């Protein structure tokens, strides 16, 4: 009996040590000043974390110690999606993601996409993922059944950032599918249906893009191109003070232009950079030189 208790104790000690190691690399890959150190830490973290998720029973692990990883799940907790991002030496962010089903299936998401407007019409698999750090998940539906809206953020390249609402569904085998023709942006003989909504904007701006519970719709800042804002002299994509919405009509999220501006901004988000007084700081609160 004592031997059995010792084995159990060793198991939990090793598990705790493993989680401590994950938390360490998670912190270093985000907060280290040297880009090479962040990259090395990210490489180790990615490998160790994915291995941990593949272990039996790991779905019951909340991974609360991973403070720089976003974790979102459906209401039934049949799956969860982890996303995180790492900044390289040149200020460009790369996104990483993993989807874990309750039955143990794990799918690694490969960020191999650079956003282009025509991607708003694409349907992609886990190996063609439009990388984003997800900060909200809302259940919706398609003609094929249940789906989820994923609201995400891409830290960009130091000059431009992006927010996106993507659609997640699963094949019969549980393989994740990103994108579905749910966003009706134009009507007529040939309706304009998008599979996701991408919103690129200047790193000089803060942009809201989320689901508004009060308004029961998706709401985001309307973005315009402006001169004279960016010190480099380039055109900057910034909010103009109005909002665009998408309201569910039973089949599509239908676009609504020029929403009233009073109390329309949705609650802000995970890792949203804020304007601060005093020394300039980057996305994670480090002082910029």
Q: Are residues 76 and 39 in the same domain?
A: no
The pLDDT of residue 127 is: 95
- Residue of 128, 126, 136, 133 lying closest to 74 (CA atoms): 136
For residue 284, being part of any structural domain is answered with: no
pLDDT band at 261 (very low <50, low <70, confident <90, very high): low
Q: How does DSSP classify residue 117?
A: G
Q: Are residues 184 and 50 in the same domain?
A: no
**Whether 99 contacts 176, CB under 8 Å:** yes
Beta strands in 16-74 (DSSP E): 70-73
Q: Are residues 56 and 80 in the same domain?
A: no
Least confident of 111-115, 142-146, 161-165, 241-245: 111-115
Number of domains composing the chain: 2
**Whether 158 contacts 126, CB under 8 Å:** no
Per-residue pLDDT tens over the stretch 172-213: 999 999 999 999 999 877 889 999 999 999 999 999 999 999
For residue 3, being part of any structural domain is answered with: yes
- 159/58 Cα distance (integer angstroms): 38
Q: Are residues 195 and 210 in the same domain?
A: yes
Buried/exposed code over 18-46 (b: 16+ C-beta within 10 A; e: otherwise): ebeebbebbbbbbebeeeeebbebbebbb
Per-residue pLDDT tens over the stretch 103-154: 999 999 999 767 888 999 999 999 999 999 999 999 999 988 999 999 999 9
Q: Are residues 185 and 124 in the same domain?
A: yes
Q: Are residues 55 and 79 in the same domain?
A: no
For residue 163, being part of any structural domain is answered with: yes
Q: Are residues 111 and 198 in the same domain?
A: yes
Quote the domain boundaries for residue 194: 69-259
Structure tokens at 9: 């104790």
């Amino acid at each position: 009996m004592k031997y059995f208790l010792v084995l159990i104790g060793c198991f939990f000690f090793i598990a705790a040590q493993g989680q401590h190691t994950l938390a360490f690399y998670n912190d270093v890959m985000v907060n280290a000043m040297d880009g090479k150190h962040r990259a090395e830490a990210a490489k180790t973290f990615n490998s160790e974390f994915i291995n941990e998720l593949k272990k039996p029973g790991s779905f019951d692990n909340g991974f609360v110690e991973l403070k720089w990883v976003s974790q979102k799940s459906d209401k039934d907790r049949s799956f969860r999606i982890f996303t995180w991002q790492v900044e390289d030496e040149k200020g460009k962010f790369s996104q990483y993601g993993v989807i874990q089903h309750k039955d143990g299936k794990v799918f690694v998401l490969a960020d191999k996409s650079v956003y282009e407007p025509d991607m708003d019409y694409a349907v992609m698999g886990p190996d063609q993922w439009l990388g984003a750090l997800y900060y909200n998940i809302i259940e919706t539906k398609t003609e094929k059944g249940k789906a989820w809206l994923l609201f995400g953020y891409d830290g960009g390249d130091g000059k431009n950032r992006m927010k996106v609402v993507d659609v997640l569904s699963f094949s019969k085998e549980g393989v994740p599918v990103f994108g579905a023709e749910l966003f009706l942006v134009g009507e007529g003989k040939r309706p304009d249906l998008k599979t996701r909504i991408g919103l690129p904007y200047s790193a000089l701006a803060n942009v809201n893009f989320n689901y508004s519970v009060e308004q029961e719709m998706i709401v985001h800042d309307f973005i315009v191109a402006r001169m004279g804002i960016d010190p480099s002299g380039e055109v900057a994509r910034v909010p103009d003070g109005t909002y665009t919405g998408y309201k569910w009509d039973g089949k599509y999220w239908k676009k609504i232009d020029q929403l009233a501006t009073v109390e329309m901004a949705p609650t802000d988000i995970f890792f949203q950079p804020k304007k601060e007084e005093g020394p300039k700081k980057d996305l994670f609160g480090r002082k910029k030189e």
